[in-house]
Amino acid sequence: GQHGGAHGGGHLEEEISFRWQCVEQPIGKLLFQRFLEGAPGLAAAGALWAELEAYERCEEAERGAAAAALRGRFFTPGGAEHCGFLSAAAMAPPTGEAPP
């Protein structure tokens, strides 16, 4: 690998480790979300995560409104909890979705 360094592919292991510790493990996830909520500048990221999980559980019929609310709250400059650290690609509407 080009960016593996001395222990080749260490980057991938770290990614899996983060996902395992902070997403797939219930206690790790809870602690990580608590950390985000309590850290200045990261609370919006924690809130976005929680809202995205709620969105995943939405009924199909509710998703359009839920997506619009998410965009207004987190993806719009000047929005209540604008996540300015997100890339343009991360904030782009899904392909095939008509703009409001």
In this predicted model, what pLDDT tens digit does every residue of 51-71 receive, in sequence order? 999 999 999 999 999 999 999
Take residue 93 and report the two structure tokens written for it: 């509407």
100 lies in a domain?
A: no
- Full domain range(s) for residue 22: 15-80
62 in Cβ contact with 49 (< 8 Å)? no
Count structural domains, the chain. Answer: 1
Task: Provide the pLDDT for residue 14.
Answer: 64
Q: How many C-alpha atoms does 55 have within 13 Å on its Cβ side?
A: 15
In this predicted model, what pLDDT tens digit does every residue of 32-47 receive, in sequence order? 999 999 998 899 999 9
φ, ψ dihedrals at 22, nearest 5°: -110, -5
- Whole-model pTM? 0.68
pLDDT band at 8 (very low <50, low <70, confident <90, very high): low
